[in-house]
Structure 1
Amino acid sequence: MNNRVTELLGIRYPIIQGGMQWVGRAELAAAVSNAGGLGTLGALTQPTPEALGLEIERCRALTDKPFGVNVTMLPTVNPPPYARIFEVIIEQGVRIVETAGNVPEQVFQQLRDAGIVILHKCTSVRHALAAEKRGVHVVSIDGFECAGHPGEEDVPGLVLIPAAVSALSVPVVASGGIADGRGMAAALALGAEGVNMGTRFVATQEAPVHAKVKQALLDARENDTRLIMRTLRNSSRVLLNPVSEEVLKLEGRSGGASFEVLRPLVNGQRGRAALESGDITNGVIWAGMVAGLIDDIPSCAELIERMMAQCRDRLAAAAAQVGA
């Protein structure tokens, strides 16, 4: 494929792996990039900016193709050293950065001055317009179906994608609700110039998570995710398990629950432990509705080639139905 996204990123196919915390490591990012997509490292997966630098070097040893680094800037009890993280990214010569959250304008300027292509993830058109005004090169628009943080406006991709395409001049990447070539074909038909997938890439051979986590995604249906922390206006879509059920139970009490009450349940290190140990009952596991569309655990190369073939078939079939 050849469009603005593939040209900006220097990739063969406009398929981007989301920079998921604890999952976006070198082995997965390199596998996606080697397969023709864009692999992405999760900056906050690493304990220090210096460790991120080593992970970037490790990824370069596994692929000579472009890859990116995700930096998500959300309110936390102990904010990461963002300034140093961006310094390391620039020092390492990374050419693509995916940002999300409340990113200061000066950070965008710093990245642009370094010649870095910026993909910014948004959950609403108004935030996408603000990001475009600040000079991002690509907007990744994240629909209500997505894993992680879908925002608070609850607009699904079928509406959000074309709304963003109509409003923006920069290319739009569709994120959330996409697991195969059918979803990709739909996104392209709606005007997007690429897709971003997280949950689907967790269920691949190269994803650095326990086999039981991948099996849980295979077993899940489309209604086996839950939105937690809605009462705190920090909505998060996660897999249905005893931890997410307990969070919802606490949120449903009269008066709700403070973050301090929920914190032991939603703690990131606890979620990391669940991903690594395979104990899927003892931590929050991010997952999108597309879990209901996952029925195998292919390699990244198999997944991407299959997606492209299916996407082409679906677009051709749709065109045949419409006729000349």
Structure 2
Amino acid sequence: MMAIKTRFTELFGVQHPIVMGGMQWVGSASFAAAVSNTGALGTVSALTQPSPEALAEEIRRCRELTDLPFAVNLTILPTVKPVPYDEYRAAIIEGGVRIVETAGSNPQAHIEAFKTAGIKVIHKCTAVRHALKAQSLGVDAISIDGFECAGHPGEDDVSGLVLIPATMDKLSIPVIASGGIADGRGLAAALALGADGVNLGTRFLCTHESPIHEAIKQKMVEADELSTTLMLRSFRNTVRVFRNEVALAVQGLERDQVEFGELAPLVSGARGRQVYEKGDPNAGVWSVGTCLGLINDVPSCAELVERMVSDARAIIDQRLAAMVA
């Protein structure tokens, strides 16, 4: 399969400009390695592991499963129970990881240590102003999340069609497009908008190697582009999740203007994890993007990446070229 070369593939040493998003409860060593072995960039999610020691072991396992580059995601968010971020950072550095994706709050406290260790840093943002700030802090690349994305899309509601080129206009470092991308058409479109690669979360979630219950994968195949909803908007902590009984209950409580403590049990990560483990789509809230409407099968990671790259090349080399000719 012919590769697509971009600033991102050359700087990060990967064959294809495709990144697996950092997904809580999902980003295991085996899953990340399966993605990396396709020539894309797999990602181990640090906080999926219950302790820094467990993360160190997961990094070791990933290295045993692939000789190709992989990243570790470190998401920095306010939590009820304090997270020992410094210890997780130390486990990443001591584990010899070469690529880190940071997300959430300002990563400044961690970037210097990562850069001193020779680690390349990708920071995930939802706004141009945040991307500019991250660039000024010395990150090597930006992953820019459009409004279509799973999880936290920010509060600006700007779609990728505008957000990607707006970011490219202001930044000098490589930019990875995230949100709403699930196939070769999305990859070709992102490259046309100026991006250096794409980030896939929801689409990789629905693959053979994804460590979630098969019933949830089937639910994703049956879903469409209207199967997601936004919650926690009243708290300015907007999250895009699957439209299920729990999400609708949360929205109802928000309309009643309750305190966050009253709905916190509904949105807990522990409940969301049960969705993936038990196969019950109503066990809790679970993050997916609007690209659900583009998912029609459960391929292997290798089949998905090969299909995306070949379809994108066909669009660029044949369809678009024929229009100009």
TM-score normalized by the length of structure 2? 0.97
Q: Percent identity?
A: 58
The Cα offsets for residues 231-254 of structure 1, whole Å up to 9 and x where unpaired, read as 00000000011000100111112x
Q: Report the counterpart of residue 319 of structure 1 in structure 2.
A: 321
Question: What is the alpha-carbon distance in structure 2 between the residues aligned to residue 284 and residue 59 of structure 1?
Answer: 28
Matched residue, 1:44: 47
Please give the alpha-carbon distance, in whole angstroms, between the structure 2 residues aligned to 1:42 and 1:257.
32
Structure 1 residues 273-284: aligned runs within 5 Å? 273-284=274-285
Q: Which of these residues, 173, 179, 198, is aligned with residue 195 of structure 1?
A: 198
2:95 counterpart residue number: 92
Superimposed CA distance per residue, residues 176-210 of structure 1 (whole angstroms, 9 cap, x where no aligned partner): 11000000000000000000000000100000000
Contact 2:29/2:62 (<8 A) preserved: yes
**Structure 2 unmatched runs, 5+:** none
AA at the equivalent of 2:259 = S
Q: What is aligned with 1:264? A: 265
Counterpart residue number, 2:306: 305
Contact 1:8 1:117 in 2 (8 A): no
Q: Secondary structure at the match of 1:70?
A: strand
1:55 maps to 2:58 = yes
Asked whether the 8 Å contact 2:76–2:107 carries over to 1, the reply is no
- Give TM-score scaled by structure 1 length: 0.98
Q: Quote the residue 1:116 is aligned against.
A: 119
Distance 1:25 1:110 in 2: 24
Cross-structure match for 2:23:
20
Deviation at 1:274, TM superposition (A): 1.2
CA RMSD of aligned residues (A): 0.8
Displacement after TM superposition at 1:3 (Å) = 2.0
Residue among 206, 220, 225 paired with 2:209: 206
Q: CA deviation at 1:227?
A: 0.4
Matched with 2:245 is 242
State how far apart, in whole Å, the 2-side matches of 1:150 and 1:223 are: 16
2-side partners of 1:95 and 1:18: how far apart? Answer: 16
| Cα distance in structure 1, aligned partners of 2:99 and 2:149 | 22
Distance 1:319 1:110 in 2: 46
| Alpha-carbon contact 1:225-1:237 (below 8 Å) kept | yes
Structure 1 residue ranges (4+ consecutive) displaced by more than 6 angstroms after TM superposition: none
Residue equivalent to 1:289: 290
The 2-side partners of 1:233 and 1:18 are apart by 23
SS in 2 for 1:139: strand
Query: What code does the residue aligned with 1:12 have?
Result: Q
- Aligned to 2:103, the other structure's residue is in SS state strand
Match of 1:157 among 160, 168, 180: 160
The residue aligned with 2:128 is 125
**1:128 CA displacement:** 0.2
The residue type equivalent to 1:320 in the other structure is: A
5+ long unaligned stretches in structure 1:
none
Q: Which residue number in structure 2 is paired with residue 143 of structure 1?
A: 146
Q: Count matched residues.
A: 321
What is residue 71 of structure 1 aligned with on the other side?
A: 74
